[in-house]
Amino acid sequence: MAAVRLTSGHFRQGCCWVIRSRCQPTCASASSSSVLNTGSRSFSTVVGRPASISASLSSQSSLSSSAYVRPALPNALAHSSLVHGRNPFTRNMSAARRKIVVKNPIVELDGDEMTRIIWQDIKDKFITPYLEVDLKYYDLGLEYRDQTDDQVTVDAAEAIKKYGVGVKCATITPDEARVEEFKLKKMWLSPNGTIRNILGGTVFREPIVIPRIPKLVPGWKKPIIIGRHAFGDQYRATDRLIPGPGTLELVYTPAGGEPERIQVYDFKGPGIAQTQYNLDESIRGFAHASFKLASLKSLPMYMSTKNTILKKYDGRFKDIFQEIYDKEYKADFEAKGIWYEHRLIDDMVAQMIKSEGGYVIAMKNYDGDVQSDIVAQGFGSLGLMTSTLTTPAGDAFESEAAHGTVTRHYREHQKGRETSTNPIASIFAWTRGLVRRGQLDETPEVVNFAEQLERACVEVVDVEGIMTKDLALACGKKDRESWVTTKEYLAAVERRLQKNLGEETKL
């Protein structure tokens, strides 16, 4: 595997900050008293949402919304779209520091449970006080998706297509238990799947590397980026129960032609069946997005399938990737000293565990779904993984945390107990969107702010040893003094960010 040279000090590698720690890469206890305890603010995803604040203190100071009222119209699709201006209730900032103007809108997709609460806290601390940004707000909380028959998810995806950049909070994908819990009309599809199918593109998942956090795969020294094809296969499959004996057939009818029938299986008793598909156009887009990312990062790239078994289905992926590489990317890769190679999925997984990292793997939809979680946990925590959806043309981009809604912590929060949920991936969902917005708008100050916020998140853990419970446990620390609450961690990041921005201003 290729080595990516590391240098001392701070530098960005892809969407993660890698830091040469100034202290030993072992976990240090961090007293909860070492940072501000900001108290708690309660939100409920079942009863309703906090009301928007609307007032005007002066002709030049408008209050932004720190939360939103869920529309109560049963047959209407009402969304909030508010310009976030000065908010004197968020925090006091230096009079010398002006808010950074984000030239074009960002689509905000709200979510569920514990991550919804954290999402709002992040916005109150790091977005509203520092940025003048037009957020096109869509409530993807499960109850509102149910109220709108999931139309809100479609509308949100279309808004991302219109404005180019979206940031998404984690959401619930309902199962039978959730249908009963929320009294849903039906078992709605995954909002992530719906958005991916509308936008197309490729999901790239990359770990946030923090040297202080031990890795479950200790040999991994550099990030492993998983490119997941965000279309088709199992996620657009048609499946059904076979009730009893009978013949299953696949019928293809060409436009203007005669049906072609393929016998799949002669059932002798009950069973199950599934059909799935993909498109050459989507596979080609997947290939281009993957090759472009690998070239941009100067990393070698692998593509993995099981074409020895699925000779036509997976074989099509293999052939299209090779064709595009040979025609359009081979010369560029060779000039950069990197390469492309196809490998069987089982061989790729084995090689991944043995390697030190430092490459991109393009995977089919399901493979990428599974392996990205393995990579995240291998680097220390599911809370240390970014997830971005990018179209081949780069005209639509969505970022989100790679983890779920943290239901267990939400239940504790509902009981009034303290929680220590890792917010880093949710913060990076915002920063990745800001970086992309800044790149599209050619506003380097927006990009720089996002990168400074990422840096602060990592430094609080790596340099100061302040971390949430999941990271402390990853370090082998179980005593209460080793970890802080979510709000305490966010307060520490806020302090570190202000310090870093202050130092930057002096330069």
Cα–Cα distances (Å) from 104 to 136, 383, 433, in that order, read 10, 29, 12
- Is 361 labelled a binding residue? no
Q: How many Å apart are CA 10 and CA 52, to the nearest integer?
A: 39
Q: Does 305 show up as a binding residue in the annotation?
A: no
- In whole angstroms, how far apart are CA 79 and each of 150, 173, 325? 13, 21, 43
- Does 407 carry a binding-site annotation? yes
DSSP reduced 3-state for 137: strand
Q: Is 38 annotated as a binding residue?
A: no
User: In the numeric block, which tokens belong to residue 190?
Assistant: 């995954």
Q: CA–CA separation, 365 vs 390, rounded Å? A: 14
Is the CB of residue 414 less than 8 Å from the CB of residue 477? no
369 marked as part of a ligand binding site:
yes
Nearest 5°: CA angle at 487, between 481 and 491?
95
* Residue whose C-alpha is closest to residue 17's, from 363, 411, 424: 424
Residue with tokens 């809108």: 105
The verdict on whether residue 205 carries a ligand-binding annotation is: yes
- The length of the chain is 507
CA 168 to chain centre: 7
| Tokens representing residue 254 in the block | 């060409």
Is 173 labelled a binding residue? yes
The stretches of 270-418 forming alpha helices (DSSP H) are 280-297, 313-324, 330-335, 345-354, 365-378, 407-414
Alpha helices (H) in 2-148, listed in sequence order: 113-122, 142-147
Is 409 known to sit in a ligand binding site?
Answer: yes
Is 53 a known ligand-binding residue? Answer: no
Instruction: Consult the annotation and say whether 70 binds a ligand.
Output: no
Task: Classify burial at 414, counting beta carbons within 10 Å of its beta carbon; exposed 0-12, middle 13-18, buried 19 or more.
Answer: middle
Residue 21 has which token pair?
């720690």
**195 marked as part of a ligand binding site:** yes
Consult the annotation and say whether 112 binds a ligand: no
Say how far apart CA 63 and CA 87 lie, in whole Å.
Answer: 5
The verdict on whether residue 194 carries a ligand-binding annotation is yes
Residue 486 among known ligand-binding residues: no
Strands 100-101 and 271-275: unpaired
* Amino acid identity for residue 300 in this structure: P
What is the C-alpha R_g of the chain? Answer: 24
97 marked as part of a ligand binding site: no
Number of other CB atoms surrounding residue 455 within 10 Å: 18
Residues 342 and 389: their CA atoms lie apart, in Å, by: 23
Distance CA 317, CA 306 (A): 10
Left if phi > 0, otherwise alpha if psi is -120 to 50, otherwise beta: which for 245? beta
Q: How far apart are CA 256 and CA 251, in angstroms?
A: 14
192 marked as binding residue: yes
Cβ contact 25:211 at 8 Å: yes
Query: Is 422 within any annotated ligand binding site?
Result: yes
Q: Is 346 annotated as a binding residue?
A: yes
The answer to whether 136 is annotated as binding is: no
- Residue numbers belonging to the annotated binding site for NADP(+): 171-173, 178, 354, 404-409, 422
- Residue numbers belonging to the annotated binding site: 171-173, 178, 190-196, 205, 228, 346, 354, 369, 404-409, 422
- Residue numbers belonging to the annotated binding site for D-threo-isocitrate: 173, 190-196, 205, 228
- Residue numbers belonging to the annotated binding site for Mn(2+): 346, 369
